[in-house]
Structure 1
């Protein structure tokens, strides 16, 4: 376990380069910290009344849980290195609770184990056949003999999967995984965001299944995700504390409608950006012995047509031991929705009952949190950008992008962006 950071406040000299960071989520906080450490005078402006973006706490039945992101992908080293630097590495935890499940109209089955974003590496494996049927599995197996050019011009994950493996894999496996991870449909998810190397690997290996197998073989050993004991929101709090100690001027409740003059880093959706999408997270705390055996493992992804409005359910007390210990026999369930469901708590209870196949009691406590997920932004107007719109979804992508941008600024590899303040 690393040592805690020095908490003495550093004040940059008046002649230090001045930078304004707009957006106080993880990307904005991290860029602000790195620039301050590099000698910049940094002001961070956040429209909300708190910092941290989609890392936020909520209290249910006396226990603080994540209201937003509750884990991070372990690919790469950016997040784990940051946690170590902030003295949080001793609290990194990996999930338990067994495999995830897939909820379909024909009933629930374990999610096939060997795959990437739901794409199977072995289409005729028993767990794949169980999930999509023998006909669907044999159609997917045709991927091995199709010419390499088939799907080679695909721009989205959905196009590629349907061309190579057919509708059964797309609808029953890839769609629920992509909806659960990205809150988007595979046909709307660019390959450049979901799997930038997949087409190259397809050309190299000759089939999509072989490309997926290669990706899995090159992945680091161990769990694909991890979290923090006590909640991922602790990362945001630690970053904010580190920013203050490095002399960053953190300001909340400041709305910016146009870029101010001077060097600016935009870590929020650009003014006038395309509308994104709304997602809702409903957390329920229930007490029932019917869930004690974790009948759906760590959680469930929902295929279209399954009679459930939620796109995913996480059995938090099965997935994370520290949450199970905190609730002392009660169960915490987290359900994710596209948009805002009517009477969200009642809908979540109905959906959870359907997914588990039992009649769940009224919750002991509940919380509803709605988040705005920004649309991807690919237009480069010269503005220094970071955060989800340009980095992609998930902490691993966001942290790596913010680190890279901060390093580029500190080496003056990109010019400053300028604008005009309209109001603040």
Structure 2
């Protein structure tokens, strides 16, 4: 059976579900550059609105950071394996695609944190981005220590205006709760989820409403508890039975049904709001949507790319009965300064996802993540495999015999660039005339943000003439 993420679809003319009165009904021709989730969602929305859509992807497959690979005979996610449940954005979209019945929640045992001194503790239960909602809770005190907990409580008794004007997560938490909370709780979680240090992450992007809640409640701990109380019951993340790659399968199938033309291996060398040049051919368009990473956007704009390194994921499939009990829950995040491991996190995927445990048949799937320069593209496979086995042993507290590894794989992703300034979040990050930017570089990381922004951009392009000044 052909993998739909690798199939090239061709279609004839406008298709879709009708959009009476829209610009698309008059024959809007849209070109979407980039076949990650953002590009797929935008192409689907435009086609459903009646547009003729051409989707161009430089790689030989679709999906971007959402994909699959086979390790030791098991089909696994090669990238993102969960999504945030906040706001219900992803769940609602999966429902539209007919996948709602396959949404699953992770095992409730939760994750641990491995500290710089080599100690490991379960993560506290009442946090938000790792920020504690109760500084006196035993699970918080156990991680940061009684002195640090007392100091954090003292700082959080300051007037609520203290730290409220900080832009980034790191200075905000440091001002309200001190270094220990930031280093031992917040940084491991933010690094594992957003692949950035809290000092480089805009607070309002990753936790909208927290600043307002601080001013309203009078303390950061109370603000965290208030936001958690407002959130719907259940896990903060969810996944798909069979893997997140099924989202891409469903999107590609819909694009085929809607008649979207897809070109893989498409080398785009220039674009603006009126045309795209691909493989030497200039294609005139009514709307151009750029759904590629910031580095590619810089290259298309004729600027030097400023890559900031790699994130390398190593997947191990192992036979080790001592892991059956899930000794460190669903995985372990690593605090800065740890010298006994090189990984920044490990996910015990067969504990986190019961459906995967059934599929693995008694084996364990472990996913470790590494930043550069700890691991680079040039790191030899044999070295990386040995490091991953040793790190998994330390982080999970169980010695894993290298001979018990049935299979392994490495996947490298470009690390995210510096976050977009708040004033530029609704505009193009790279000044390409008339081009509409979507994707993680402008929406923020995570499927919820990417899907919402891609849909909003498509809706704006389909609006009546005159409502979108950038379109000619």
> TM tier, shorter chain?
over 0.9
Q: Normalised by the size of structure 1, how large is the TM-score?
A: 0.93
The 1:47/1:110 distance shift into structure 2, 3 A limit, reads same
Report the more deviating stretch, 23-32 or 204-213. 204-213
Give 1:344's aligned residue.
384
Tell me if the contact between 2:66 and 2:79 (Cα under 8 Å) persists in the aligned partners. Answer: yes
Shift of residue 331, structure 1, vs aligned partner: 0.7
Shift of residue 132, structure 1, vs aligned partner: 0.3
Q: Tell me whether 1:266 sits opposite 2:298 in the alignment.
A: no
Equivalent residue pairs, number: 412
Give 2:318's aligned residue.
286
Q: Normalised by the size of structure 2, how large is the TM-score?
A: 0.84
Report the more deviating stretch, 14-23 or 161-170. 14-23
Q: Secondary structure in 2 aligned to 1:148?
A: coil
Tell me if the contact between 1:182 and 1:393 (Cα under 8 Å) persists in the aligned partners. Answer: yes
Q: Secondary structure in 2 aligned to 1:76?
A: helix
Q: Tell me whether 1:357 sits opposite 2:359 in the alignment.
A: no
Q: Aligned partners of 2:186 and 2:151: how far apart in 1?
A: 15
Tell me if the contact between 2:309 and 2:415 (Cα under 8 Å) persists in the aligned partners. Answer: yes
2:456 pairs with 392, 404, 419, which one?
404
Give 1:92's aligned residue.
103
2:327 pairs with 271, 295, 305, which one?
295
Tell me if the contact between 2:327 and 2:397 (Cα under 8 Å) persists in the aligned partners. Answer: no
Shift of residue 15, structure 1, vs aligned partner: 5.8
Give 1:275's aligned residue.
307
Q: Deviations over 1:231-253 (max 9, x none)?
A: 10111111011112111111111
Tell me if the contact between 2:332 and 2:396 (Cα under 8 Å) persists in the aligned partners. Answer: no
Q: Tell me whether 1:383 sits opposite 2:435 in the alignment.
A: yes
Tell me if the contact between 1:10 and 1:246 (Cα under 8 Å) persists in the aligned partners. Answer: no
Task: Give ranges in structure 2 of 5+ residues lacking alignment.
Answer: 1-8, 16-24, 276-284
Give 1:194's aligned residue.
206
Give 1:133's aligned residue.
145
Q: Tell me whether 1:332 sits opposite 2:334 in the alignment.
A: no
Q: Aligned partners of 1:401 and 1:301: how far apart in 2?
A: 29
Q: Tell me whether 1:75 sits opposite 2:86 in the alignment.
A: yes
Shift of residue 47, structure 1, vs aligned partner: 1.0
2:409 pairs with 367, 371, 375, which one?
367
Shift of residue 192, structure 1, vs aligned partner: 2.7
After TM superposition, the structure 1 = structure 2 runs for residues 14-413 of structure 1, keeping only pairs within 5 Å, are 16-96=27-107, 98-104=109-115, 105-260=117-272, 261=275, 262=285, 263-269=287-293, 270-271=297-298, 272=303, 274-306=306-338, 307-339=340-372, 340=375, 342=379, 343-362=383-402, 363-375=405-417, 376-378=419-421, 379=424, 380=427, 381=431, 383-412=435-464, 413=467
Tell me if the contact between 1:143 and 1:208 (Cα under 8 Å) persists in the aligned partners. Answer: no
Q: Aligned partners of 1:207 and 1:112: how far apart in 2?
A: 18
Give 1:3's aligned residue.
none
Give 2:468's aligned residue.
414
Task: Give ranges in structure 1 of 5+ residues lacking alignment.
Answer: 1-6, 419-424
Give 2:6's aligned residue.
none
Q: Secondary structure in 2 aligned to 1:247?
A: coil
Report the more deviating stretch, 174-183 or 298-307. 298-307
Shift of residue 217, structure 1, vs aligned partner: 0.9
